Structure 1
Amino acid sequence: MTSSSTPVSASTFRLDWSAKVILFAILSSIFLAAMDQTVVSTALPTIARDLHGLAKLPWIVTAYLLTSTVCLPVYGKLGDLLGRKYLLQSAVLLFLAGSVLSGQAQTIDELMVFRALQGIGGGGLLVTAIASISDFIPITQRSRYQGLVGAAFGLATLAGPFLGGFIVETMGWRWIFYINVPIGIFAFFIIGFAFPKPKTAEKVRMDVPGTVLLTTSLSALVLFASVSGTVLPWDSAGPWLLLAAGLSAFGGFIRSERHHPEPLLPLAFFRFRTFSLSVIISFFVGVAMLGSVSFLPIYLQDVRGFSPTASGLELLFLLLGMLAMSVLTGRRISRTQRYREFPIAGALLITLALGLLSMLGQHMPMWRIDAVLVLLGLGLGTTMQVLVLSAQLAVPHRHLGVATSTVTLFRSMGGTLGVAAFGAVFSAFLAGGSHGDVQEGAPALIVQTLHTDFLIAALFSFAASVCAWFLEDMHVLVKRRDALDRG
């Protein structure tokens, strides 16, 4: 098991038995964390009735989203400094503790706190597991296995609502959290058995000021995106105070990073064109993907009359395209040692799909909508994991965790801000109609609103495709990275 950049033929490279066990542990961890992001959504109405907390229901989701997002840079840096074995096991334990306590919650406030704890573990699971692949897979073959990561993530994300609905109907909502326990225990012991013991660091100098400032900034920005216009009205001071606090703390973080000997996020990385572009493209793709697709169930349920379960099944077409291209793209990059064309083509496919969705009609044949969802999945599968690879290749090997967490963080922030922004557009359009319009012509008004949302999302994805043209290809990155590692 090596991370050497020496070229290895795709036809001759094989994982040994221990590496296969490590890969299985990594995929299990990613599946566990990704599934929990969506499995709770189906149970929210039941939880609200049982715990008498309908007014605070959005915070069950926001608490997890907040902590899982803000901890990403910290996990990335700690993984580079301390090794990823024990850090990944710690993330599993935190996730399990949050799961068990969430299942035991007796009030909505308790559940919010325990979901926040679960999010700290879940964020660490994702970023540490993805970065771990780079520790034992050669650069030239890494894309094949990161394609499997994309497939596992997509499968877990879309399987979550169906599994959640089944568990709620057969065993009760608390088992949504308990079901994580056997999977998590299995992953914990597999990681302990298969992962090599990390080397003992001579001296760890954690960037405490930078960690505090970035955590404060991200917390304020995620809260701004999550509660503005819903919990806090736009015309109140609350949203703007959160935004001001987030931007101010981020400015302090930038100043702090310039002077710390071991910064949480080395600003020098942004001098590498491909690293900066990977981060920017990830943000744009996050905005386009989550900001638009999140509102598709509204069309299916309120315009076409689908049940929640049936509208969820429609997203399987998105999953099919995403799974297929995640695997095929990874294998193709391993054979050709070229990746640049994939984010270009993928972002253009996303743009085309969102452009077609912007022409949704009240009576459009479902086969056409399903075909567009497959197209959207093909674009996402071609793009998402490739951006992790390009960012990793652009920096020295010892900063793999930072590169992985930064791309993941910006994609997550893009999605969070996209959902908030498109939600504001959606609410503004609906509020713009008269009361009679909303009551009698709601389907037409919803379709008109979604046209605007999908069109804006298409512009973001087109911007991503333009940025992707300026990425450096694999042979350039590998050569420069070898020089950086030797230096």
Structure 2
Amino acid sequence: MSQTATPAAANEPRQRSVRVVMVGLMVAMLLAMLDNMIIGTAMPTIVGELGGLNHLSWVVTAYTLATATSTPIWGKLGDMFGRKNIFLMSIVLFLAGSALSGMAQTMDQLITFRAVQGLGAGGLIVGVMAIIGELIPPRERGKYQGLTAGVMAIAMIGGPLVGGSITDNWGWRWSFYINLPIGVVALAMITIVLHLPKKRTKARIDYFGAALLTVAITSLVLLTTWGGTQYAWGSGQIIGLLVLGLAALAGFVFAETRAAEPILPLRIFRSGNFTLISLIGFLVGFTMFGSMTFLPLFQQTVQGASATNSGLLLLPMLLSMMAVSMVAGRVTTSTGKYKIFPIVGGALIIAGLFLLSTMDVHTTRLMSGVFMAVLGLGMGCIMQITMLIAQNSVEMKDIGVGSSSATLFRTIGGSFGVSLFGALFTHKVQHGMSSVAGGQGSEATKGGAQLDPATVAKFPPAMKDAYFHAVASGTHVVFLWGAVISIVGFIAAWFLVETPLRGHAAKAAPAAEDTPVLADAH
């Protein structure tokens, strides 16, 4: 007698396969997130061997630029030619860049190979998000949000520890080589288990639009990277970058209205939700990444924490973020409601940043940990929900550019935040040092406000105390302005329209050839 499988039983193999694919995707995401954390601790050793201290910042800038400029292009290529193969190409490119970086013999070679690595990294993040968007409908996607939050926590906590250990025991080159076995695991799992529909398109790639967008993003990132540090804000170089960036951006918008297959279709911004969530993502990147840059500095300088364990100092924030992200995902999956999370998250971020702005030289690590936990609660409400809303606000054919646009706005926001908050911090510290210690204080910080602990330890007691107070004052200004700017995102969240989340793909009755397929996990 034949037996009919229950829907739950029939769905079980698919759920197993989804979990296997998710593990592969999370490994790939870990590659991109962990890389900069590991390399940061290895940089002093790298400079000691290769030299080129004056080009040190370009090791990071080349990677960041390549990642930002390639992100929207990877998203569009996935929409046009199929997500799986494009994603696998980005992994291979990232691994090739990692291997070449590990073999670099000069600083110029390392910078070049880091750019190659960054090109691959741009496809890793957007590829993960777009594949999740195609594989798992928004209504069910919340169940997996905790995974991405967990990967972020692992990268931020484990990166500095792993980087320091690898550099000390195996040498700095293994900071790059370690990506190879991890990447091979991700490649194997995605290749074997994930089967998405193959796409063929006769449309031409929008090379002109891609070039204009690259120029615009490069100009704006360099402007925020160099402004107030390498060049004065009013210098010809910075003004020239601003003019070039705005002109390229205007040209890009015009070109996209004429392109047959635009690299970033402007139609996606007709959705009020997508435009609002892009603004919120930009502001989250601006305030969060901008202000978080100064948390380890405050703890290492004012509170005397070890630089090696700087990742552990962020545990209160990261654990609360991960816990709330999981809860938010489960609630969204079971109820289909999501608008409350950007609103509550926005309020908590404002509260967390304001509490952090009250820290001074007498604030204990326990108290700063409580403040960070409040900030983490707000981040947990917003970080993954923004991507969910962005993907639900575009058609399935545009889910790649939707994901890449959301990622790009957050990245650009973070770049602006780090630069502008850095300028505020530096000005405040230098003003505080000159006020308290006079010319000697100005001389001590003329090369920059972020002095390493070894340098500060050599200061006379009075100078050291003045620097601690100046750093506390600088972080106060940064966090306070972060709280003020976050109010804009909080207000924008109220205008989101809670449109129904798309259910399971099968319910939409797509054509059979367009349905994502998963290999059985057995």
TM-score interval, normalised by the smaller of the two chains: over 0.9
Pair member with larger Rg? 2
- 2:91 aligned with 1:66: no
Q: CA deviation at 1:182?
A: 0.3
Post-superposition Cα deviations, 1:31-75, rounded to whole Å, max 9, x if no partner, equal 111111321111111111111122111111111111011111001
Give the stretch that moved more between structures: 370-379 or 432-441.
432-441
Q: Distance in 2 between matches of 1:331 and 1:382?
A: 12
Which AA in structure 2 matches 1:311?
A: S
- 2:114 aligned with 1:110: no
Q: Distance in 2 between matches of 1:197 and 1:346?
A: 34
Q: Do the aligned residues in 1 keep the contact of 2:159 with 2:311 (CA within 8 Å)?
A: no
In structure 1, the gaps of 5 or more residues are: 1-7
- 2:441 aligned with 1:442: no
Q: CA deviation at 1:314?
A: 0.7
Give the stretch that moved more between structures: 382-391 or 456-465.
456-465
Give the stretch that moved more between structures: 299-308 or 429-438.
429-438
Cα pair distance change 1:259/1:147, threshold 3 Å: farther
Partner of 2:373: 374
Q: CA deviation at 1:106?
A: 0.9
How many pairs are equivalent?
474
Post-superposition Cα deviations, 1:107-162, rounded to whole Å, max 9, x if no partner, equal 11111100000000011101111110122212310122234223223322332111
Q: Do the aligned residues in 1 keep the contact of 2:160 with 2:310 (CA within 8 Å)?
A: no
Structure 1 segment 132-151 matched on structure 2, within 5 A = 132-151=131-150
RMSD over aligned Cα, in angstroms? 2.1
Q: Distance in 2 between matches of 1:42 and 1:375?
A: 28
Partner of 1:422: 421
Partner of 1:465: 490
Partner of 1:38: 37
Q: Do the aligned residues in 2 keep the contact of 1:339 with 1:474 (CA within 8 Å)?
A: no
- 2:195 aligned with 1:170: no
Which AA in structure 2 matches 1:26?
A: L
Which AA in structure 1 matches 2:94?
A: F
Partner of 2:198: 199
Q: Do the aligned residues in 2 keep the contact of 1:151 with 1:326 (CA within 8 Å)?
A: no
Cα pair distance change 1:253/1:291, threshold 3 Å: same
Post-superposition Cα deviations, 1:61-115, rounded to whole Å, max 9, x if no partner, equal 1111110111110011111111111111100111011001111111111111000
Which AA in structure 1 matches 2:207?
A: V
Q: CA deviation at 1:15?
A: 4.3
Which AA in structure 2 matches 1:387?
A: T
Partner of 1:22: 21
Runs (4+) of structure 1 exceeding 6 A deviation are none
Q: Do the aligned residues in 1 keep the contact of 2:276 with 2:496 (CA within 8 Å)?
A: yes
Post-superposition Cα deviations, 1:328-377, rounded to whole Å, max 9, x if no partner, equal 21111101110110111111111101000111110112111011111211
Cα pair distance change 1:14/1:379, threshold 3 Å: farther
Determine which of 465, 475, 478 is the counterpart of 2:500: 475
Q: CA deviation at 1:13?
A: 8.2
TM-score (norm 1): 0.93
Q: Do the aligned residues in 2 keep the contact of 1:155 with 1:323 (CA within 8 Å)?
A: no
Q: CA deviation at 1:234?
A: 3.0
Q: CA deviation at 1:201?
A: 1.1
Partner of 1:253: 252
- 2:89 aligned with 1:90: yes
Q: Distance in 2 between matches of 1:127 and 1:255?
A: 25
Partner of 2:349: 350
Q: Distance in 2 between matches of 1:236 and 1:161?
A: 36
Q: Do the aligned residues in 2 keep the contact of 1:343 with 1:383 (CA within 8 Å)?
A: yes
Q: Distance in 1 between matches of 2:201 and 2:159?
A: 42
Q: CA deviation at 1:437?
A: 4.5
Q: CA deviation at 1:295?
A: 1.1
Which AA in structure 1 matches 2:312?
A: L
Determine which of 464, 473, 481 is the counterpart of 1:456: 481
Q: Do the aligned residues in 1 keep the contact of 2:83 with 2:196 (CA within 8 Å)?
A: no
Post-superposition Cα deviations, 1:293-331, rounded to whole Å, max 9, x if no partner, equal 101122112222222023332112221112112222111
SS in 2 for 1:233: coil
Q: Distance in 1 between matches of 2:417 and 2:19?
A: 37
SS in 2 for 1:400: helix
Which AA in structure 1 matches 2:397?
A: R
Cα pair distance change 1:13/1:220, threshold 3 Å: farther
Structure 1 segment 239-388 matched on structure 2, within 5 A = 239-388=238-387
Which AA in structure 1 matches 2:474?
A: T
Partner of 1:119: 118
Q: Do the aligned residues in 2 keep the contact of 1:30 with 1:126 (CA within 8 Å)?
A: yes
SS in 1 for 2:198: coil
Give the stretch that moved more between structures: 356-365 or 260-269.
260-269
Q: CA deviation at 1:197?
A: 4.8
Q: CA deviation at 1:436?
A: 4.2
Q: Distance in 2 between matches of 1:308 and 1:41?
A: 11
Q: Do the aligned residues in 1 keep the contact of 2:153 with 2:319 (CA within 8 Å)?
A: no
Partner of 1:3: none
Q: CA deviation at 1:235?
A: 4.3
Partner of 2:209: 210
Which AA in structure 1 matches 2:30?
A: F
Q: CA deviation at 1:384?
A: 0.9
Q: Do the aligned residues in 1 keep the contact of 2:101 with 2:114 (CA within 8 Å)?
A: yes
Cα pair distance change 1:474/1:142, threshold 3 Å: farther
SS in 2 for 1:206: coil
Which AA in structure 1 matches 2:116?
A: L
Partner of 2:187: 188
Cα pair distance change 1:298/1:197, threshold 3 Å: closer
Q: CA deviation at 1:230?
A: 2.1
Q: Distance in 2 between matches of 1:14 and 1:343?
A: 34
Q: Distance in 2 between matches of 1:142 and 1:38?
A: 28
In structure 2, the gaps of 5 or more residues are: 1-6, 445-462, 512-522
Give the stretch that moved more between structures: 114-123 or 293-302.
293-302
Which AA in structure 2 matches 1:447?
A: A
Cα pair distance change 1:14/1:355, threshold 3 Å: farther
SS in 2 for 1:58: helix
SS in 2 for 1:105: coil
Q: Do the aligned residues in 1 keep the contact of 2:139 with 2:502 (CA within 8 Å)?
A: no
Which AA in structure 1 matches 2:477?
A: T
Q: Distance in 2 between matches of 1:324 and 1:315?
A: 14
Q: Do the aligned residues in 2 keep the contact of 1:347 with 1:383 (CA within 8 Å)?
A: yes
Give the stretch that moved more between structures: 94-103 or 429-438.
429-438
TM-score (norm 2): 0.87
Post-superposition Cα deviations, 1:229-272, rounded to whole Å, max 9, x if no partner, equal 22233343112211211111001001111121221112122121
Q: Distance in 2 between matches of 1:13 and 1:136?
A: 15
Q: What's the % identity of the aligned pairs?
A: 41
Q: CA deviation at 1:177?
A: 0.2
Cα pair distance change 1:399/1:306, threshold 3 Å: same
Q: CA deviation at 1:477?
A: 7.5
Q: Do the aligned residues in 2 keep the contact of 1:285 with 1:460 (CA within 8 Å)?
A: no
Q: Distance in 2 between matches of 1:257 and 1:448?
A: 45
